[in-house]
Chain A
């Protein structure tokens, strides 16, 4: 009898602990870790949660009869993925010379977006993002823009772009 009560007490204490840890996580959820990259004249932030890796641009095999922003397919660590020209997809101004590939994990499989240079990883606060800027064409798949004009990408929205599908 007393054993059961002791066990119950321990379990309750653990449950309380777990619940606190969760609350702390929720507070941190306002901050998002992003990898900042340049693309033409813009700077884009990829939430690292969705990012598998950023690799030097691999050899790309062109696909016939596909839109201009689909550069082709490439192999990254044994997986075949499409390479999307982010500058062209988001109609970014200024010359873009892709040197890296940001590999994003979509539910269906990986997909790569070209970027010029990788700047840094940093934390951005969602509360401080300016959502107004989302109306601009080059920000169409954005959560918002930071004060220093980093466009934080909304990856699920980007992945849902009908332009990504070739059929």
Chain B
């Protein structure tokens, strides 16, 4: 073969890819009955004829040969007014797919060899004569393209055809957007300065009221300043409007039609179907929706992932479908609607659906599902990273390959993805919601620990101020009761993000955040206010940061982190607040023995510790505890002091006197708060002493984490 010019090869690749997209579009139209057999054959013939020419020019002889073979078949169909069989349509798709792979890998590919063999053996033969045998006006090749085809092919090329559209270099557009965001930050700063200015004028006014002498001298100055402040207020308002207009115009420039993604989806589906030897059709209903260029690009991967998933795991093999009384050809539907500022995409298949019970039991088996008795949520399991990599789970349950990757990509766009509640035998459907534009977003600026954070408004429901005396606890989790009595789990934003939690003030400031049915109260130090922000990606060396999707600059020079709300919500509903010990998930869980004669205390302590991820066993008195310690391995003992049979002090002494147990950490818990008791406990060898009067979850967990 001739040595390939890489530039030429790129052009041929592009042309072959476009030909494949066009062919898939044609096959869809033909399959759906919106195109006659004659039109289909004629257009397909033209595609193969042109592709053959391109492949020859590029020096891809084998691929050219394959394209030529299909062209011959099509010519025979055309001349004989025959209807193409399904096999031949599949062969056409397969041939172009193989040509594309061959072009991408330098001229040959196993797929191409397969196609060539099939073509040489002459297997697929034209079937029945076309009932609607019609005219065949042009024998000349290439034939004039029918309109429908031009459309599908040109969609990918952008808007050039329509008048008034121009092509803009993407980097220039990005630069314009950067300037826009800079402008926005400056606008926020101007607003801050204006507030400072009016505060200054205010202070001057106060001074003037006090001092009669200064009044005369300065009242003119004051009124000048006041009118300046008023002028400034107007100025800031106007410039704010201008910024907003600019921002809108900027966004509009970046908008592209969502339908541009169609060729990629078609190609993905047809490849996936071929690879898994299934018959699948794609139904697209993308409407007239426009979406930011950046969002469109970032959506490609997750959408393709979900499509592949549907074909690989959802759609059954043809034989099975027939047995089930379903049409042999499965169908995947991608539809899009605009809901407010969000684009909601639904990816639905008519396959076997997701067997919830099976997924959940497998998740429990592999330890992904959390503790026993925990309510497991299908959504959480499917999207958890471990689930996707656990091969046997995936194969048995038939779902879950890399869904966490989909979720991450969507999270980065400030959106979310979830599984529609599965219905038996109705296939599966995933719903994905992303903002149509990410140039600027609305958010709530808050301070927590040592930093400020901007919480995207998409997840913020409301803010609350709650006296800290209203904090309660349920199953070891801090909660408050909402108006109608329903509990709201609380988490401290600072600890969720790995910072220290400060002392709680008398009134807690809480931001209620939601995603789907999950709801969480984030405790913050200060709610700064609503803000418009532009998200910046983290620096290059920070490839991935748990809990953070980006950074934004607010009015001052300070940077605020933008938390990954989906991640926070997941983290927030799964672990005890910040006190959970940092244990790698793979390590065996630490075992704690609780000895207490009071059922209430026992249950309370057990719930707190189990909630923090420990394995807990309980006994009713010291003697039973000592027996249990000798029988099984424990990492820590939590014991009441006053118990029948053997009290906590005696138990501690015995533990210390037993060589294998001598180093076991012991926490004594009691209602006694006499200093002598503490001393006696310490003398007996207890490591920590917690008094029940001041007993709380935090104290216990802190004591435990000090010892383990």
What residues make up the interface of A, taking CB atoms closer than 8 Å to B? 58-59, 61-66, 70, 73-75, 78, 80-82, 106, 108-109, 111, 164-167
Contact = CB atoms under 8 A, between A and B. Distances in A.
A4 to B, nearest CB: 32
Interface of B: 178, 182, 450-451, 497-499, 536-548, 551, 553, 557-561
Contacts of B178: 78
Contact of A65 (B537, B538, B545): B545
B498 A82 contact: no
Contacts of B560: 61
B547 A64 contact: yes
Contact of B541 (A65, A75, A165): A165
Contact of A64 (B499, B541, B544, B559): B499
B543 A166 contact: yes
Nearest to A167: B543
Contacts, number: 76
B540 A106 contact: yes
Contacts of B561: 61, 63-64
A80 B539 contact: yes
Contacts of A62: 450-451, 499
A61 B559 CA distance: 6
Residue among A62, A80, A106 facing the most chain B CB atoms (10 A cut-off): A80
Given A64-B497, A64-B547, A166-B545, 18 more contacts: A59-B557, A61-B551, A61-B559, A62-B499, A63-B545, A64-B546, A73-B542, A75-B557, A80-B537, A80-B539, A80-B551, A82-B542, A111-B540, A111-B541, A166-B541, A166-B543, A166-B544, A167-B544
25 contacts: A59-B559, A62-B499, A63-B561, A64-B498, A64-B547, A64-B548, A64-B561, A65-B497, A65-B546, A70-B542, A73-B538, A73-B539, A73-B551, A74-B559, A75-B553, A75-B557, A75-B559, A80-B538, A80-B539, A82-B541, A108-B540, A164-B541, A165-B541, A166-B544, A167-B543
Contacts of B544: 166-167
A61 B451 contact: yes
A162 B337 CA distance: 44
The 7 lowest CB-CB distance pairs between A and B, nearest first, are A108-B540, A64-B498, A64-B497, A167-B543, A61-B559, A166-B542, A82-B539
B542 A61 contact: no
B43 to A, nearest CB: 46
Nearest to B550: A80
Contacts of A81: 539
A61 B450 CA distance: 9
Contacts of B182: 78
A88 B537 CA distance: 25
Nearest to B498: A64
Contacts of A167: 542-544
A65 B539 contact: no
Contacts of A59: 557-559
Nearest to B560: A61
A63 B553 contact: no
Residue among A63, A64, A66, A167 facing the most chain B CB atoms (10 A cut-off): A64
A111 B539 contact: yes
Contacts of A58: 557
Contacts of A66: 542, 545
Residue among A59, A109, A166 facing the most chain B CB atoms (10 A cut-off): A166
